[in-house]
Structure 1
Amino acid sequence: MPRRSTSTDLQHVTVHGHRRAFVRRGSGPAVLLLHGLGCDHTTWDPVINSLARTHTVIAPDLLGHGASDKPRADYSVGGYANGMRDLLTILGIDSATVVGHSFGGGVAMQFAYQYPERTERLVLVGSGGLGPEVSPAIRAITTPGFQQAMGVLALPGLRHATTTAMRVLSRSGVRQLRDLDEVADIYDSFADPRARAAIRHVVRAVVDWRGQVVTMADRAYLTEAMPMCVIWGADDQVVPVDHADNARALAPTARVEVIPNAGHFPHKDHPERFVKVVRDFIRTTAPSTYDRERWRALLEEGAPLPPVQAEAGDAPLAPVHPVRATGA
């Protein structure tokens, strides 16, 4: 069966003519939960109520996903960041701790980059944007025949048999197969041709045949001005856990937590531990305060350039920083 919302409080607002679905629970400082590719707000069901005991939790269905509209529209990470800004504005929320899973992590990073004044903290969960590697299944979505092939694979009989097998395998105890229940839900959503088209547009905006295109590497130095936490499942088969090490290198001030015996959805595999990590991170860090002069200074200084090789075989020279611009 396709994914169905277990939420009795699913709400809708219309933004720029498109209907957006979201769940709002709890009270207190805001936490925005952004789901991954092909998922919807229900991926956060194991953790929403616990987080809502201390925070206002907003869990939307991104455009093209779940119960939100699936128009022919802008499915870039920048477009999604704009949509989240507008949703928070309609809901009367000025700033939030932004939590993004997988593709939602890329949206979260883009949101923080575009709207630092509205981002208190950044939490990335098995996130895209931290390295080129990604599973072959996601790269396959970029191929020209994806829409037609999925139209056949999404026919009721074949889809039902395949998703049933996936759900059985996910309960087999084989750690590499634990995420197949979520994959089955995503597969089920492809029964809707509008959902297939939306997913194809999303993936083509961030992935090509070589892997992820969009990266935070060139802007990671800006995280110096914002608390960041990175959470990964040790057995992630979608985005390699090695990308958590990339996060350490790109953003040395980030807090990194690798959860054992967890796959691409650590918030579902170990919800209590996930909530503890997120809540402790929020409790022990002050929300980022946007300072235009500090932000400008970081932009002017820029990121350190990579080590320069003088000649093949020579030891690398020290990293080079661009000359900071000064007034006349």
Structure 2
Amino acid sequence: MGYFINEDGQRIFYEDQGVGHALIFIHPPGMGRKVFAYQHELSQHFRLILPDLSGHGDSDTLTGNPGIEDYAKELLELVDHLKLDQVFIFGYSAGGSVAQEFAIQFPDRVKGLILSGAFPKVNTRLLKLEFLAGMKWLKHNPLSLARLLSSSHFKHHETKVEQFHHILKSDVDVWYAFYRNSLTYDCTRQLYKLSMPLLLLYGTRAEWINHQAPFYHSCPQANLVVVDKAYHQLPATHSDVVNQAVIDFFKRSYVHKNK
């Protein structure tokens, strides 16, 4: 575990465990790094880096309106701080917007991109309504929203409570801005730049999100894994499938490729 000071003077907290190829996890708005509680076992195969983006969890807040591009730059600062040449990036939900922006802006720093329930833009009415409902809920009652998010991801009591308290550390203005900026983010015209190996993870019951997969047809090395009878919260609810898919993706796209 450690901190680094970014260009704006914020302390950015991150966990760093395991050895091998670096794999960085990017969380959705509000949730912080604890949403990846069940990905820690991947430290047996990778060097895991789990940051709290600025304004989230144990990281500082200096601005209440960080954009997706700002977070991509913050991620680059973390990669440089750790003296990593190239990394694998895992973006979950709207955290996938940051992961995609980073890979588009700095493709030479990305060995592989993994997106779980992510989207290049909000293009369905239902997804837009979910964003707007979350933003409205956050303005009126962040406590109950934190309780809903932690309960919808985790069933184990201690993990759920830990996630709930971690969410409450997030700056509400930053949390709201992350929602808003993800709602308007659109990288569809730049997806062709994602020429690195790409893994897409979706659940069959997350109907609104499954409209996103066709956007990635322009990506030359895209791989799709669809988890049966699963909703959106795959890293938490189907961690065994997600973790094995990540291992298989690494072996297929990097180990076998470099033999």
TM-score (norm 1): 0.67
1:189–1:195 CA contact under 8 A, matched in 2: no
Take 1:260 and 1:250, find their aligned partners in 2: how far apart are those partners? 25
Take 2:223 and 2:129, find their aligned partners in 1: how far apart are those partners? 29
Cα 1:36–1:142 change in 2 (3 A) is closer
2:113–2:197 CA contact under 8 A, matched in 1: yes
Deviation at residue 202 of structure 1 after TM alignment? 1.8
User: Could you give the per-residue CA deviations for residues 143-173 of structure 1, whole angstroms, max 9, x where no partner exists?
Assistant: 6xx77x42xx35xxxx47x876x589x5xxx
Take 1:180 and 1:279, find their aligned partners in 2: how far apart are those partners? 23
Q: How does 1:112-261 map to 2 (within 5 A)?
A: 112-133=103-124, 134=127, 136-140=129-133, 149-150=139-140, 153-154=141-142, 159=143, 166=148, 178-179=152-153, 195-207=171-183, 213-223=184-194, 225-236=195-206, 240-247=209-216, 249-251=217-219, 253-261=221-229
Instruction: Look up the SS of the partner of 1:275 in the other structure.
Output: helix
**Is residue 18 from structure 1 mapped to residue 34 from structure 2 by the alignment?**
no
Deviation at residue 203 of structure 1 after TM alignment? 2.2
Deviation at residue 214 of structure 1 after TM alignment? 1.6
User: Could you give the per-residue CA deviations for residues 51-102 of structure 1, whole angstroms, max 9, x where no partner exists?
Assistant: 1112111010111111111222551111001001101111121210111001
The aligned amino acid for 2:212 is H
Instruction: Look up the SS of the partner of 1:200 in the other structure.
Output: helix
* Structure number with higher relative contact order (C-alpha < 8 Å, ≥ 6 residues apart): 2
Instruction: Look up the SS of the partner of 2:209 in the other structure.
Output: coil
Instruction: Look up the SS of the partner of 1:285 in the other structure.
Output: helix
Deviation at residue 187 of structure 1 after TM alignment? 7.7
Deviation at residue 253 of structure 1 after TM alignment? 3.5
User: Could you give the per-residue CA deviations for residues 203-257 of structure 1, whole angstroms, max 9, x where no partner exists?
Assistant: 22232xxxxx32221011222x3111100122227x522222333x343641011
Instruction: Look up the SS of the partner of 2:177 in the other structure.
Output: helix
1:131–1:246 CA contact under 8 A, matched in 2: no
Q: Where is the helix percentage greater, Structure 1 or Structure 2?
A: 2
2:56–2:167 CA contact under 8 A, matched in 1: no
Cα 1:180–1:284 change in 2 (3 A) is closer
Instruction: Look up the SS of the partner of 1:22 in the other structure.
Output: strand
Instruction: Look up the SS of the partner of 1:92 in the other structure.
Output: coil
Instruction: Look up the SS of the partner of 1:100 in the other structure.
Output: strand
Partner of 2:242: 274
2:118–2:209 CA contact under 8 A, matched in 1: no
Take 1:163 and 1:251, find their aligned partners in 2: how far apart are those partners? 35
User: Could you give the per-residue CA deviations for residues 160-209 of structure 1, whole angstroms, max 9, x where no partner exists?
Assistant: 7x876x589x5xxxxxxx548799988867756x71111122222232xx
Deviation at residue 108 of structure 1 after TM alignment? 0.6
Partner of 2:91: 100
5+ residue gaps in structure 2? none
Take 2:228 and 2:128, find their aligned partners in 1: how far apart are those partners? 20
Cα 1:204–1:270 change in 2 (3 A) is closer
Take 2:44 and 2:135, find their aligned partners in 1: how far apart are those partners? 40
The aligned amino acid for 2:177 is H
Take 2:117 and 2:68, find their aligned partners in 1: how far apart are those partners? 16
Percent sequence identity is 21
The aligned amino acid for 2:196 is M
Count matched residues.
249
Cα 1:138–1:188 change in 2 (3 A) is farther
Partner of 2:57: 66
Instruction: Look up the SS of the partner of 2:171 in the other structure.
Output: helix
